[in-house]
Structure 1
């Protein structure tokens, strides 16, 4: 390739830093079910200002014009009991770096709707609908580079993204796991909810929806990591950045993160975060939210969640900047 053409291709592939971030909330058709709700962050040239987003405040320009062309896309999947705003700071960092970042509230597994919490196969299908909407129906779909789609997920969202990228879990492993580890967080949760550990034993492999458009994956503290195994992860061909909280008491890394790390067909970009707990992958809480939700806002003494998120978001952005086409 001539030098000028090569430089032009490189310029087109690298997003331009955005001075401001636009934001909008959309509803996405979901078949016969109620529409899915999603948030979209994107580069804009319009001035931004502080606006409320649930219990937090973000500096954005609501419904502003979209700046740039051939913008790469990253879709985000939240953890159990979360919502599309759960990782707003990571979405903002991506948008400032020239990405479009879009997160869906996984109906049935949000803070205000736990009606389908263990129907894990619903989540990858919902993420697939989000990608469809962004590339085909969103008002800015012609501004996107359909060849550069990445996915980010935390906890149940990490599981979701692994499936979307080609993973096939075997949920029949949950029951024997809980026989050996009855006091484990997952098993206690199932017991308190009155749900048998074999809840997913009859889920067919064909129930899991994959999305070949996803070219790079970032996962943090993925749930149900032990259910994949090497055969179940053999279809994950996209490069993976994997984050593990060294002091995760909810999903110990020896059963969740490390099996994923060891069984992926390609060695991931692996980060073990010293002193971090499971919920330290969520953004820092303000004083009001910390009082309301201490179980997700508290960090171990000496762990600076705000400083960690600056580094975390920078690493996530850099990883997606290198996303292959």
Structure 2
């Protein structure tokens, strides 16, 4: 049945491409109160011809600045992992745009590849995602082509945490200290220790600091960071349909404290995928030779795992989920 669902999704992708043959793209700056503007990338259907362009760390086949095609288009906002950027999931954004969605991804200021100044101030991320939705629905020059009733969100790692909060989750960051006391060898705890950060740093964060966005009607979460901080009470208000992805060999966020903790404590069972032989960073797009040399820690998969083949399946199933849930 899963195989047939993927075949059907691929069929719909082909049909969508018949109506909007290519993908337009633009980078925008979004005013963000007293802070510097946020940077975001936007992918959308277009009938203009697309050509390869070097954008950030990747080459993408897009039509920069082209006119949008279609109307009443669903929107999916994307939240990257720690130390990433708006292009971290460009292939998923391309797949969504080819299928008739508009995909918009924000670079989370303070937690990007070139700015780690606020990496542990996790409450900033949902507020930035909320600002992205505001911009897309009210200020983007093509906002009149969007359907405000059909908004979804995709997030990986810290981004998975972000979209869970956006969908109504309230984490308890005071759980980090006892977690690290019990599991000092886990990556999160080693990183905090190496950075000289007291794991009690977040004990007094009030619940009111977490920004939710009821406009988001469905979410896809891959390898959510800090999953253990929510608990049943913290996820009790998350009612949107959810698709969760877990890498079976995720040594960065070990099972069962992250994905499984979220799956178990959600008030409604999510759609749940476990990817055999996959590691944490296999949810990022395949790397070219240059990026593999520069960042082998995020580009190298376990022997026998075909990241490119997985992303064909992964992106098709993410598209299928949003097609079904954002009707």
TM-score range, shorter chain: over 0.9
Is the Cα contact below 8 Å between 1:245 and 1:253 reproduced in 2? no
Divergent runs of 4+, >3 A: none
* 1:65-84 matches, cutoff 5 A: 65-84=67-86
Q: CA deviation at 1:324?
A: 4.1
Structure 2: any 5+ residue segments left out of the alignment? 1-14
SS, match of residue 47 in structure 1:
coil
Judge conservation of contact 2:161–2:226 (CA < 8 Å) in 1: yes
What secondary structure, in the 3-state scheme, does the structure 2 residue paired with 1:216 have? Answer: strand
Match of 2:64 in 1: 62
What is the rounded CA distance, in whole Å, between the counterparts of 1:230 and 1:168 in structure 2? Answer: 10
Alignment of 1:1-325 (within 5 A): 16-17=16-17, 18-324=20-326
**Unpaired segments ≥5 residues, structure 1:** 1-14
Alpha-carbon distance in 1 for matches of 2:289, 2:307: 14
Structure 2 contact 53–62 (Cα < 8 Å) conserved: yes
* Kept in 2: contact 1:51–1:60 (CA 8 A): yes
* SS of 1:226 mapped into structure 2: helix
Q: TM-score, normalised by structure 1?
A: 0.95
> How far is the alpha carbon of 1:19 from its aligned partner?
1.0
The answer on whether the counterparts of 2:74 and 2:326 sit within 8 Å (CA) in structure 1 is: no
**1:221 touches 1:253 (CA, 8 Å); kept in 2?**
no
Q: Distance in 1 between matches of 2:152 and 2:200?
A: 32
**Residue aligning to 2:7:** none
Quick one: distance in 1 between partners of 2:238 and 2:307?
Answer: 30
Aligned length: 311
Report the secondary structure of 2:88's partner residue.
Answer: helix
Cα distance, 1:253 vs. partner?
2.6
How big is the alpha-carbon RMSD for the aligned residues of Structure 1 and Structure 2? 0.9
Distance 1:194 1:138 in 2: 41
**Aligned partners of 1:97, 1:308: CA distance in 2, in Å?**
18
SS in 2 for 1:314: helix
- State whether residues 156 and 283 of structure 2, in contact with CA within 8 Å, keep that contact through their aligned partners in structure 1: yes
After TM superposition, the score normalised by the length of structure 2 is: 0.94
1:150 alignment partner, SS class: strand
- Conservation of the 8 A alpha-carbon contact between 2:45 and 2:97: yes
